[in-house]
């Protein structure tokens, strides 16, 4: 039995019992009626507190089971999700101009992105429901991750990706045996098509924005971050937590995890959240700056995982920044390529474009006086660099071609 007490619509504030509704608030519809999972935190605190975690021998996202909506633990799959490394990256801190910088490498998850935290949760919920097929639409990582967890569970999966998703991510889908539809259109169009198909065929819907349980998986990234700062770095306290933003589910989950760790006595105060978008696709930044409602935009960026012109979890994403008194910032594709190189050369972590956007985001935020030079910053690297080799090659250039002779090496060295 979980400690879930119910679901609350973040738009109209109506409460639902868990058995009453599966995805979104029926009164508000899926554009606005995003639900939030609520817990009995007094009960949670009995088994999830600084003392208990110190003695906890589970090192994966299931370490935080009391804070997760799992009713049947036999539905948890064998793949190792979470407990990804957290590095104290001093060379990169110096490069970006902050006092201390922690880098959490989420590319070290089983399908190489932090989306595994959500998919692991989604598959548990699908199995609890007795679903016979699961579906999602994705820019790539949610898809490859769902395909992996569906394979682990022996659950058939149907996945919708935009035709232009990077080849490595599509290869993952096919290798894991998912049914893959490469949609001739944008991610936004793939999303709408998936929603229609799920409704038509009764498939279990893993789309993170409308399935309230997925973000519960995602929040474990910041819960774990705080846990690691507590255990491994002498209770270091971040002033900022930095993450890239597409649909807004990730940043929403990150904020929820921080709030919960504050509630449970791990954090003396709440950090601010810096949401990083691409210059060519920044609907959150625009709405935040203008204090205006969401205006869907075009999506022009090489950072495919955050190429989301119509964010599906706008309110939760926006709340994360506003409630934490944080900020949105955007970076150009050039700066994202610089981030790939700089993260790799200063911290030896190889990330995909959306995964590293926060590197340039921090630098810019320091230059603009948003982040102070005395601040401690935690940077979430959300996806592995091997996911998108084309961008990596664009970032790093070509090798020097030489003949297989020592004289050629000498000539090249003297050039």
Ligand X SMILES: *Cc1c(COP(=O)(O)O)cnc(C)c1O
Which residue's CB is nearer to ligand X, number 48 or number 183?
Answer: 183
Per CB under 6 A, which of residues 140..169 are in contact with ligand X? 141
Instruction: Give the residues across from 328 on adjacent strands.
Output: 275
CA distance 413 to 353: 32
Q: Which does 250 bind (CB under 5 to 8 A by kind): ligand X, Zn ion, none?
A: ligand X
- Interaction between residue 115 and ligand X (CB under 6 A): yes
Query: For 297, what's the count of Cα atoms within 13 Å in the CB-facing half-sphere?
Result: 21
User: In this structure, are strands 240-244 and 4-9 parallel, antiparallel, or unpaired?
Assistant: unpaired
Which residue's CB is nearer to ligand X, number 66 or number 253?
Answer: 253
- Interaction between residue 173 and ligand X (CB under 6 A): no
Which region among 22-30, 83-91, 244-252, 321-329 touches ligand X (by CB under 6 A)?
A: 244-252
* Closest distance to ligand X from the beta carbon of 69 (Å): 18
Under a CB-based contact definition with an 8 Å cutoff, are residues 229 and 238 in contact?
yes
- Interaction between residue 357 and Zn ion (CB under 5 A): no
Which region among 125-133, 153-161, 219-227, 243-251 touches ligand X (by CB under 6 A)?
A: 243-251
Under a CB-based contact definition with an 8 Å cutoff, are residues 307 and 341 in contact?
no
Binding mask 287-326 for ligand X (x = CB under 6 A): ------------------xx-x------------------
Contacts of 151 (CB under 8 A, 6+ apart): 157, 176, 177, 178
Candidate residues 246, 326, 358, 385; the one interacting with ligand X per rule CB under 6 A: 246
Give the DSSP H/E element, type plus range, for residue 345. Answer: helix 333-347
- Interaction between residue 109 and ligand X (CB under 6 A): no
Count of residues engaged in binding ligand X, rule: CB under 6 A: 19
Strands (E), 163-221: 179-183, 204-205
Give the DSSP H/E element, type plus range, for residue 380. Answer: strand 376-381
User: In this structure, are strands 376-381 and 100-105 parallel, antiparallel, or unpaired?
Assistant: parallel
Residues that bind ligand X (CB under 6 A): 113, 115, 141, 244-251, 305-306, 308, 352, 354-355, 382-383
Residues that bind Zn ion (CB under 5 A): 9, 11-12, 25, 27-28, 33
């Amino acid at each position: 039995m979980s400690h879930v007490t119910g679901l609350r619509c973040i738009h109209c504030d109506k409460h639902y019992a868990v058995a009453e509704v599966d995805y979104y608030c029926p009164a508000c519809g899926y554009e606005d009626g995003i639900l939030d999972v609520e817990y009995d935190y007094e009960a949670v605190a009995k088994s999830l507190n600084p003392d208990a975690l110190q003695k906890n021998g589970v090192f994966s996202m299931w370490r935080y089971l009391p804070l997760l909506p799992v009713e049947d633990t036999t539905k948890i799959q064998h793949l190792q999700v979470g407990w990804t490394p957290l590095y104290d990256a001093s060379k990169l801190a110096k490069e970006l101009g902050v006092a201390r910088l922690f880098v959490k490498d989420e590319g070290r998850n089983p399908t190489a992105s932090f989306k595994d935290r959500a998919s692991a949760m989604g598959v548990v919920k699908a199995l609890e429901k007795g679903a016979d097929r699961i579906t999602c639409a994705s820019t790539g990582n949610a898809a490859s991750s769902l395909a992996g967890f569906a394979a682990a569970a022996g659950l058939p999966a149907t996945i919708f990706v935009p035709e232009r998703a990077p080849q490595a991510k599509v290869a993952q889908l096919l290798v894991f045996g998912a049914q893959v539809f490469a949609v001739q259109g944008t991610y936004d169009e793939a999303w709408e098509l998936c929603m229609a198909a799920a409704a038509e065929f009764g498939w279990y819907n893993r789309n993170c924005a409308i399935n309230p349980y997925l973000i519960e998986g995602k929040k474990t990234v910041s819960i774990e971050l705080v846990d690691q700062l507590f255990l491994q770095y002498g209770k270091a306290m971040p002033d900022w937590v930095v993450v890239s933003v597409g649909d807004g589910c990730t940043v929403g989950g990150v904020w929820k995890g921080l709030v919960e760790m504050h509630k449970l006595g791990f954090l003396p105060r709440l950090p601010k959240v810096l949401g990083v978008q691409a210059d060519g696709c920044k609907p959150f930044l625009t709405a935040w700056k203008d204090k205006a409602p969401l205006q869907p935009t075009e999506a022009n960026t090489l950072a495919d995982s955050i190429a989301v012109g119509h964010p599906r979890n706008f309110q939760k994403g926006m709340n994360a920044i506003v409630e934490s008194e944080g900020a949105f910032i955007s970076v150009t594709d050039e700066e994202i390529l610089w981030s790939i190189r700089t993260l790799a050369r200063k911290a030896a972590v190889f990330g995909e474009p959306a995964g590293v956007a926060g590197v340039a985001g921090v630098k810019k935020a320091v230059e603009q006086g948003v982040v102070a030079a005395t601040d401690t910053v935690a940077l979430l690297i959300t996806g592995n660099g091997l996911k998108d080799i084309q961008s990596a090659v664009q970032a790093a250039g070509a090798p020097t071609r030489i003949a297989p002779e020592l004289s050629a090496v000498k000539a090249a060295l003297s050039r």
